[in-house]
Chains A and B, each alone.
Chain A
Amino acid sequence: MHKTAYPHRKAHQSFTPESALDQDLRRDKEDIRANQKPPDGIHRRDFIKRTGLALAGVTAASTLLPSIRRGMAAGANPTEITFASAKFFGKETIAEVVQAYNSSQDKVRVTYKELPPPSSSTEVHQALVQQLARRNGDPDVFTQDVIWIAEFAAAKWALPLDEYFKAGTMKEYFPGVVDACTWQGKLTALPWFVDSGMLYYRKDLLEGLGAKAPETWDQLIDSAKKLTSSDKAKFGFLWQAKQAEVLVCDLVSFIGSNDGSILKSDGKTVSIADDAAIEAVQLMHDFIKKYQISPEDVLSWDEEPSRRPFTAGQAAFLRNWSYVWKVAQNPAESEVVDKVGVVPLPHFPGKKSAACLGGYQYGVNASTKNREAAVEFVRWMSSPETQLRFATQLGLCPTRAAVLDQPQIAQEQPFMQQLKGVFIGAIPRPVTPKYPQVTLVLQSEISRALTTGDVKGALQTAKEKIQAIVKA
């Protein structure tokens, strides 16, 4: 029986005599361990006790606090709903408009959730999809780009609004917009504002030529060539061909101006490889390579890079959205103040002008728990007074024909009234719930067609891929 000289060894361990040095080291270690004082005078156990109590207190408070707040709020009764919208601003912000609604009545209180601005439309789309896919009623009201209406309707995230807004009410809006807000016969969005592409041109340069604003593409090519060859303008016609959503907008305008289409109205027949479309895309390619009135840089330009040379006075024609007007009249940013005119885009001979429809519309969450309050709010936001406010304060063009004719708009935004014809003739991009996939295919193939010149091949590939997507 070994004595406790070696208490740390178990019985079965082999016995090797511990040297004197080791014995000393071991005893030193044991002494130090026995005498170790915790630093700073706080014993470890006390510290743990105090922290534990603090944590417990905080947890209790955080669980009780919301119920206390709810109890206090229960005294007032307004229905609380949330409104998520992409960020717009002008002289006012959307938050201020929502605030005005909250102060004008006390049955509904709206909390405004701001999403990224529409220039980051992919991020807005993601944020909306992730919230809506949870189907928990949040947000109650949201705003959706025109191209997402079919997708949200087919996924049953947007509430059909036919029982709240009858046909009579809907007649007050532009028919094109109402069409865009309908999916399979059901109204799933309420119109908010529209935007569409249009042709900006230099009034002074065309007067010098003795020509008027072009109505057909041939006239535009003619004027542009004359201006570039006489060095009056550096570029003829600027548009956007970057491999991004804006390319599809331009594509729709060009194809529509030849009475063609990408997807027929049944949503299943793909018509992008038809002759009308081939001719239109060939024209797009020829602008750059054959007639050379558009620089090669348009292949990497979206809205802003194409706008800059125009407002710097270097281009004769520009296809862009309505925001360019304000920028062109601002002396700090533009060299062509008062020299710019606007007309609908040109068309092929014998056909009609086509502009690509854009703009955000309201939607009500299908899983919302406060249906009446949400509809009330949307009705107010879409009312003539609010649309007038959006037009004058944020520059968003109204979707009600009557509002567009009001004298206030003539005063503050005369440009909008000029565009009535443009907006009425706007056509939508392909209406299908699979639009996000379709647009990626279109961007890729059209960009290929424009860079390589193989228009027929690229459009045929596009047709096959889109057919595979919409049939699935």
Chain B
Amino acid sequence: MAIAKTLTREANLRPPEIRFRIWRPGPVLLLVPALAAIAAVSIYPVILGLWLSLRDTTLASPEDTFVGLANYQRILSDSQFWNAWAHTMEFTTASTLLETLIGLVIALILTERFLGRGIVRAAMLVPWAIPTVVTSKMFGWLFDGQNGVVNYLLRSFGLIQHHVNWYGSPDTALWTIVIADVWKTTPFMALLLLAGLQTIPHSLSEAALIDGAGPWQRFWCVRLPLLAPTLLIAAMFRALDAFRIFDLVYVLTGGGPADSTEVLSTMTYKNLFSALQFGYGSALSTVMFVTEILIALGFGIFLLQKFKEIGQ
């Protein structure tokens, strides 16, 4: 305690110019392992990807010439790209919205005390614990057009007349994937929102109760505004992850009947690893990267505004 006090005092005793002019070796050394790991695994591949996107490298032939922005021009005029981009945006929006809403409801229910709350909390985490590939195969079997249990249950309850061809039909295939993703990732959102809800002081809701607020008003005017930063951060992470969805789509439909579930990641994968077009594939990944940064910036600006509001 005394040492900590002394260290801070010592830091404050130095004139301001010296404090910021020198990067003290201690703290920077603490950053080195993390930054080195990231540099080794991410930085060089990212730069290599950017560099490759300016060339027309293919693995199968020895040609490898600099083509400038030709790959990007090809992307802009490629109807398959825009098709995949539209599906990715649809999927990201639908999945993030649904998961945030359902996660919020689950978190609200789990903050209440009731018998068996611990069991429900544990059960809620089961979908998240199952690997994505296993989830894809599982939903493939659940939604099977002929023998799937979903069709069986829907028919037993009289909700549909004939079996629905869930992922063999271009109209329903993307929704099957959205449902599978919502099932798998809602626990993540619910957990984050639950943690956020529990940081809101109980006394605020009680004060509102005393003032005569009903349950909906307590939620909407008291808890939700305080939950907003957590909500936005969780939604941002979820949106960024949903944008990069790959294994769920690839294993379940492989791009789907008539390209109806083709997303940017599967298209990039097919171009990179099946068609071995490293130039074009790297340009696709760069475009994905830029779009994600834009999404993150959008959320970030919104978040900063929210923080300012709360600070006031």
Contacts and interface: CB of A to CB of B under 8 A. Distances in A.
Q: A and B, one complex?
A: yes
A436 B275 contact: yes
B97 to A, nearest CB: 27
B258 A243 contact: yes
A375 interface: no
A440 interface: yes
Contact of A433 (B60, B169, B170, B258): B60
Contacts of A29: 2-3, 6
Interface stretch (A107-115, A174-182, A405-413, A445-453): A445-453
A436 B80 contact: no
A122 interface: yes
A203 to B, nearest CB: 24
Nearest to A32: B3
B59 A133 contact: yes
Interface stretch (A84-92, A295-303, A330-338, A387-395): A295-303
Interface residues of A, number: 43
A436 B257 contact: no
Interface string A419-452: 0000000000000011011011001100110111
B15 interface: yes
Contacts of A297: 144-146, 165, 168
A122 B15 CA distance: 63
A231 interface: no
Interface in A104-131: 122, 125-126, 129-130
Contacts of B146: 295, 297, 309
A171 interface: no
Given A297-B145, A448-B258, A440 B60 contact: no
Contacts of B100: none
Contacts of A447: 257-259
Nearest to A298: B168
Given A151-B60, A444-B80, A451-B170, A25 B9 contact: yes
A300 B2 contact: no
Contacts of A443: 255
Given A26-B6, A154-B60, A451-B170, A296 B273 contact: no
A35 interface: no
B274 interface: yes
A243 B259 contact: yes
A357 B209 CA distance: 75
Contacts, number: 99
B60 A129 contact: yes
A51 interface: no
Interface in B50-106: 59-62, 80
Given A25-B2, A154-B61, A451-B169, A295 B257 contact: no
Contacts of B173: 300
Contact of A129 (B6, B167, B276): B276
B145 A243 contact: no
B136 interface: no
A296 B274 contact: no
A25 B253 contact: no
B270 interface: yes
A301 B273 contact: no
Identify which of A22, A26, A129, A300 gathers the most chain B CB atoms within 10 Å of its CB: A300
Contacts of A436: 60, 274-276
B256 interface: yes
Contact of A296 (B5, B165, B275): B165
A155 interface: yes
B196 interface: no
Given A28-B2, A447-B259, A451-B169, A440 B275 contact: yes
A459 B284 CA distance: 26
Contact of B254 (A151, A244, A308): A244
Contact of A25 (B6, B61, B165, B276): B6
B259 A296 contact: no
Summarize B's interface: helix, strand, loop or mixed: loop
Contact of A299 (B9, B165, B270): B165
Nearest to A437: B275
Nearest to B173: A300
A203 B265 CA distance: 46
B277 interface: yes
Contacts of A452: 258
Interface in B248-297: 253-260, 270, 273-277
Interface in A441-472: 443-444, 447-448, 450-452
B5 A451 contact: no
Contacts of A125: 274
A13 interface: yes
A242 interface: yes
Nearest to A152: B60
Nearest to B254: A244
B168 A25 contact: no
A246 B274 CA distance: 15
B115 to A, nearest CB: 43
Nearest to B165: A296
A437 B270 CA distance: 9
B17 to A, nearest CB: 11
Contacts of B276: 129, 436
Interface in B163-194: 165, 167-170, 173
B253 A300 contact: yes
A116 to B, nearest CB: 13
Given A243-B256, A243-B259, A451-B258, A296 B145 contact: yes
Contacts of B165: 295-297, 299-300
Contacts of B255: 243, 443-444
Contacts of B256: 243
A440 B6 CA distance: 67
Nearest to B80: A444
A448 B170 CA distance: 9
A153 B200 CA distance: 67
A155 B145 CA distance: 43
A301 B140 CA distance: 11
B257 A300 contact: yes
B114 to A, nearest CB: 42
A243 B257 CA distance: 6
Given A297-B165, A450-B257, A451-B258, 18 more contacts: A129-B60, A130-B59, A155-B59, A242-B257, A243-B257, A295-B146, A297-B145, A298-B168, A299-B165, A300-B257, A436-B275, A436-B276, A440-B274, A444-B255, A447-B257, A447-B259, A448-B258, A451-B260
Q: Which 8 A-B pairs have the closest CB atoms?
A: A300-B168, A297-B145, A299-B168, A448-B258, A451-B258, A437-B275, A296-B165, A447-B258
10 contacts: A22-B9, A151-B60, A155-B60, A155-B62, A243-B253, A296-B145, A305-B144, A433-B61, A436-B275, A450-B257
Interface of B: 2-3, 5-6, 9, 15, 59-62, 80, 144-147, 165, 167-170, 173, 253-260, 270, 273-277
